[in-house]
Amino acid sequence: MKKLIVVSVTFILPLLISFTPFALAESKATLSQQHPYDTTDVTGPRPMASLYDEGFWLVSPEDKLRIWAWAQEDYRAFSPNYPLPDTFLNRRVRLAVLGTLEYHFNYMLMAAFERSTDLVQFAWVEWAQLGWIKARMGQFKEPFSMEELTTDVYLDTLERSIIVTNLSPAFDIGAMLHGYVWDDKIEYAVGAFNGRGRTREDNRNDKNVASRIVIQPFRADENSKWLKQFYIGVNGTWGVDEESLAGTSYTTAGATRFWTYANGVGYLDERWRLGTDLIWVYGPYSFKTEWNRSVFQNIANATQITNGIFDGWYITATWLVTGEDKQRGTKPVKPNKNFDPLKNQWGALELVFRFEQFLADNSPLLLSLATGTAKVNATTLGLNWYFNPQVRGAFNYVQSDFANAIVVNRRTIDRENLFLFRAQFEI
């Protein structure tokens, strides 16, 4: 895995050097191309103004500030006699402030009010004068997994896939270089992190390294319009960690625990991840797929030791049956006609399908380092109803099949039938 990271870095650095002359020449033009929620587009002095454009903005000659908030209110139900209760829940309630300071510095602060601890989600500042290289430091998501990096409000399904939910790094504290080169056809990121999750200080001098490259090869090809939004991503992480795994569980979309580590289990060795993903968006259609592998070396208790190897993949397809343009996952869908039944307008409707698989080496189970099942297949059927760009209703049916029966609240089950309903809004 060390070789993987070295290859990633040695690929990125020559790439930056080779593109530096033309990137500098194009930096001003790059800054004027507003990427989704990239706040570097300040092209000249303006008087103080307030406006609403996908969020509330305050704009001054040198600074920009955006107030952004959203809530996802869910109802989670299971088939009759399932050993978990049906419930309403505040799935996510978020408030963010982000913007630009003195033209060249971006920042973001976000709090998660549905959490009783670790409220801070994002807390970072970055130098962003040049579009081809930006330097960020603070708490944010490690550059790994297309689905994990997709903003919660723009996910196709109501929950992320099992492999991404349970084994992608997500939020961490660290520093990162990232940017766009080659007429924005290549997006890259490489960074160093504590490797312990949100708000946690490191317990070792070693740092985790993460890198990601996304290529959009046909972005400027007018002869291949149906491939302009075709993206391929590759990413990896590596680090040496010391953590307790006792009681840690992996869960389904319905929060059923299908894998739980025993008391006294932990690891002190290398942990690495490797993944690749693909997105294709054309008109009202989208296709997405992703594969990830996570490896924990030397999972052990006082008497047993083994490696933990976890693989997962999914395919997702969506279709906006009302004909709107599908977004990559960085902007809201904008209905051709906002919901207004008095005018016979019904917003935008989208059908969603996903199949996913989680696979684990069963050595930890055989050695009683964990309990549960080593394989889960899950199928999701969904409907998204976009009333307008800010308000969305959604329904997902998720069937998760466990290769081996598991015990939940003293009952043995081999399948979870989940019904998820969501009302979502953002301001």
Residue-wise pLDDT for 23-77, tens only, equals 333 333 333 333 333 444 444 445 668 777 777 899 988 899 999 999 999 999 9
Question: Which residues constitute the domain of residue 155?
Answer: 2-426
| pLDDT per residue as tens digits for the range 335-346 | 999 999 999 999
- Residue 39 CB coordination number (10 Å): 22
Q: What is the mean pLDDT of residues 284-299?
A: 97
SS3 content of the chain, % helix, strand, coil (to 5): 15, 55, 35
> Residue 48: what pLDDT?
67
Q: What is the band of 373 on the pLDDT scale with cuts at 50, 70, 90?
A: very high
Give the residue with greater pLDDT, 231 vs 44: 231
CATH number at residue 245: 2.40.160.10
Percent of the residues in the chain that have a pLDDT greater than 90, as a whole number: 82
> Residue 115: what pLDDT?
85
Reply yes or no on whether the pLDDT at 354 is more than 80.
yes
Task: Kindly tell me the burial class for residue 209, based on how many C-beta atoms sit within 10 Å of its own C-beta (0-12, 13-18, 19 or more).
Answer: buried
Q: For strand 305-320 and strand 49-52, is the pairing parallel, antiparallel, or unpaired?
A: unpaired
Give the residue with greater pLDDT, 356 vs 5: 356
DSSP 157: S
Instruction: Quote the number of domains for the chain.
Output: 1
> Residue 86: what pLDDT?
98
> Residue 21: what pLDDT?
38
- Could you give the CA distance from residue 147 to residue 149 in angstroms, rounded to a whole number? 5
pTM: 0.89
Strand partners, 371: 260
> Residue 41: what pLDDT?
45
Reply yes or no on whether the pLDDT at 189 is more than 80.
yes
Q: For strand 64-78 and strand 411-426, is the pairing parallel, antiparallel, or unpaired?
A: antiparallel
Q: Among the listed ranges 42-51, 86-95, 238-247, which one has the minimum average pLDDT value? A: 42-51
> Residue 221: what pLDDT?
86
Q: What is the band of 16 on the pLDDT scale with cuts at 50, 70, 90?
A: very low
Reply yes or no on whether the pLDDT at 252 is more than 90.
yes
Give the residue with greater pLDDT, 31 vs 196: 196
